[in-house]
Amino acid sequence: MIIIFSGILGGLGLVALIYRKTFLGLILGLQIFLFGAGLMIVFAGIIANSPMQGFLLGLFISLSVAPQLVVIYALVVRFFSLKGQTHVDALSSFIEKEPE
């Protein structure tokens, strides 16, 4: 039952990553997706009769995701201070266009 719940969380996070149009929505989707993946790994370790390995791998995922999200939040704050919005389509203004 809990494996199904973590799969649903991962699926919801993936859907949020695909369909969100703002950076904060993308970050939220990424957090939900990685939380579901970590939960899946923990409970897979419990089912495989090696709960300590599952817990340690889940802890490793959580501890490696946290600094990445901090950097992403910092980039979003910087992008908002430059552009005044957090819409993903505004990223195209940073792409250099080739001279014709």
Question: Per-residue pLDDT tens for 44-83?
Answer: 888 888 888 888 988 888 888 888 888 888 888 888 888 7
pLDDT of residue 87: 78
* pTM for this model (two decimals): 0.74
Domain span holding position 10: 2-94
Cβ-contact 14, 29 below 8 angstroms:
yes
| In a domain? residue 99 | no
CATH of the domain at 23: 1.10.287.3510
Q: Is 89 exposed, middle or buried (0-12, 13-18, 19+ CB in 10 A)?
A: exposed
Predicted local confidence at residue 100, as pLDDT: 62
Asked if residue 100 belongs to a domain, the reply is no
